[in-house]
């Protein structure tokens, strides 16, 4: 009896921890949209692969868009101490919905066929089939200009309800998203020429969200070398690509406003060997080419600083997050 209570207590604790981490999962997906801007800065310099280049790995094959004019091979992105593979592509002849339709179909083909299994069970018992939309493991949302598809790749073999529950419990206990399956995430955005840029993220290895988003203290990762950091700030995000000097970091502060943080950086950057500069249009575009209009408006209102140190460039963007009452500092680096 004691063991049973203990087992229930442990499971309850795991699910409680999972509920606490759910907002951070939403933040992760929102963050991937931010990474899109950084990644597009990286890939805008060159397209490193021809159409239909063979990509290694099950996840990579699933995330290849056969109709793309160009799609690069996967690169490794480190986000809060965890590894994600990502790549980008472009198609001139397909709109955002068509690109998302393609990847949604890929997701549906590898969702364990749970909905199919539930339908069969009810039909065998000659019972009305209930609404199974909640069992659809593929998420999709879009606007006229952009959208995303996200899912877990659990394979083509059918998996019953018991298997799904076991996966969920394992994820709740460990925080490892890989226990649910391979993470697949696609973000597509319409370009000014009428084509579509798309960015794909996937991983078939461990991706521990408990470690990525600790309940206290800094998220794993590193601060920008030589860049001052205000006291009493918390690092939420640290992302960088292997073999590339670009990086993105995000911090929050509950003790200072965005305006106060901007004044602090304006004072401290020169003391740390950084030269504050008024960026040229080309430099500004290098960072903001694929930003949303809202983020461009923030920059135009003067809520950003641009600094240089030798061949290193940094842009620091300041915003107030009214719902949380915190100020957010986003640091973008480039060479």
Domain ranges of the chain: 2-212, 233-334
pLDDT at residue 228, rounded to an integer:
97
Contacts of 129 (CB under 8 A, 6+ apart): 118, 119, 122, 123
Separation CA 323–CA 122 (nearest Å): 44
Q: What is the secondary structure of 185-254 as a DSSP string? A: EEEEEE-TTS-EEEEEEEESS--BHHHHS-SSSPPSS-PPTT----TTEEEEEEEEETT---EEEEEEES
Contact between 63 and 89 under an 8 Å Cβ cutoff? The reply is no
Which contiguous run of DSSP H or E holds residue 139?
strand 139-142
Is the per-residue pLDDT at 166 higher than 70? yes
131-150: string of b/e by CB count within 10 Å (b at 16+)? Answer: eeeeeebbebeeeeebbbbb
Query: Against a cut of 0.75, is the pTM above it?
Result: no
Tell the CATH topology of 233-334. Answer: TATA-Binding Protein (3.30.310)
Q: Is the dihedral of CA 288, 290, 291, 293 positive or negative?
A: positive
Is the per-residue pLDDT at 38 higher than 70? no
pLDDT at residue 188, rounded to an integer:
86
Contacts of 121 (CB under 8 A, 6+ apart): none
**Alpha carbon distances (Å) from 320 to 28, 35, 327:** 19, 20, 4
The residue ranking higher by pLDDT, 193 or 162, is 193
Q: If you average pLDDT over every residue of the chain, what do you get?
A: 73
Separation CA 206–CA 203 (nearest Å): 8
Binned at pLDDT 50, 70 and 90, residue 283 comes out as low
Is the per-residue pLDDT at 194 higher than 90? no
**Alpha carbon distances (Å) from 107 to 34, 53, 155, 169:** 23, 21, 9, 22
Q: Is the dihedral of CA 295, 297, 298, 300 positive or negative?
A: positive
Q: What percent of the chain clears pLDDT 70, i.e. is strictly above it?
A: 61
Looking at residue 130, what DSSP letter applies? P
pLDDT at residue 101, rounded to an integer:
93
304-330 residue pLDDT tens? 898 999 989 888 989 888 778 889 898
Q: How many residues does the chain have?
A: 335
Is the per-residue pLDDT at 79 higher than 70? yes
Most confident of 128-137, 170-179, 259-268, 297-306: 259-268
Determine phi and psi for 235, rounding to 5 degrees: -80, 125
pLDDT at residue 118, rounded to an integer:
58
pLDDT at residue 247, rounded to an integer:
85
User: Average pLDDT, stretch 273-302?
Assistant: 66
Q: Hey, is 275 helix, strand or coil?
A: strand
**Alpha carbon distances (Å) from 120 to 153, 163, 221:** 22, 16, 47
Determine phi and psi for 287, rounding to 5 degrees: -90, -35
**Which of 261, 264, 266, 296 shows the shortest CA–CA distance to 278?**
266
218-257 residue pLDDT tens? 999 999 999 999 999 999 889 888 887 788 898 999 999 9
User: Average pLDDT, stretch 293-308?
Assistant: 69
Separation CA 94–CA 182 (nearest Å): 26
pLDDT at residue 75, rounded to an integer:
84
Contact between 251 and 233 under an 8 Å Cβ cutoff? The reply is yes
User: Average pLDDT, stretch 112-127?
Assistant: 62
């Amino acid at each position: 009896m004691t063991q049973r209570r203990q087992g229930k207590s442990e499971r309850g604790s795991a699910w409680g921890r999972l509920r606490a981490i759910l907002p951070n999962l939403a933040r992760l997906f929102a963050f991937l949209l931010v990474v899109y801007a950084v990644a597009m800065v990286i890939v805008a310099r060159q397209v490193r692969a021809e159409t239909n280049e063979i990509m290694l790995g099950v996840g990579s094959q699933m995330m290849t868009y056969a109709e793309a004019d160009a799609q690069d091979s996967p690169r490794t992105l480190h986000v809060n101490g965890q590894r994600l593979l990502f790549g980008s592509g472009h198609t001139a002849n397909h709109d955002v919905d068509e690109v998302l339709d393609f990847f949604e179909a890929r997701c549906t083909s590898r969702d364990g066929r749970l909905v199919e299994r539930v339908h069969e069970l009810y039909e065998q018992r000659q019972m009305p089939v209930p609404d199974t939309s909640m069992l659809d493991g593929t998420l999709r949302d879009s606007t006229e200009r952009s959208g995303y598809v996200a899912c877990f790749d659990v394979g083509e073999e059918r998996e019953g309800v018991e298997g799904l529950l076991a996966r969920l419990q394992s994820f709740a206990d460990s925080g490892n998203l890989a226990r649910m399956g391979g993470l697949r995430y696609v973000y597509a955005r319409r370009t000014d020429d009428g084509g579509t840029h798309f960015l794909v993220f996937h991983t078939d290895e461990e991706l521990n969200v408990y470690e990525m988003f600790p309940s206290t203290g800094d998220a794993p990762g590193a601060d920008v070398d030589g860049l001052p950091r205000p006291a009493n700030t918390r690092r939420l995000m640290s992302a960088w690509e292997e073999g590339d000097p670009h990086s993105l970091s995000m911090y929050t502060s509950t003790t200072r406003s965005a305006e106060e943080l901007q004044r602090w950086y304006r004072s401290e950057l020169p003391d740390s060997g950084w030269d504050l500069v008024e960026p040229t249009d080309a430099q500004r575009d290098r960072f903001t080419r694929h930003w949303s209009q809202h983020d461009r408006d923030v920059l135009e209102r003067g809520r950003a600083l641009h600094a240089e140190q030798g061949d290193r460039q940094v842009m620091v963007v300041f915003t107030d997050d009214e719902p949380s009452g915190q100020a957010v500092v986003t640091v973008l680096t480039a060479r």
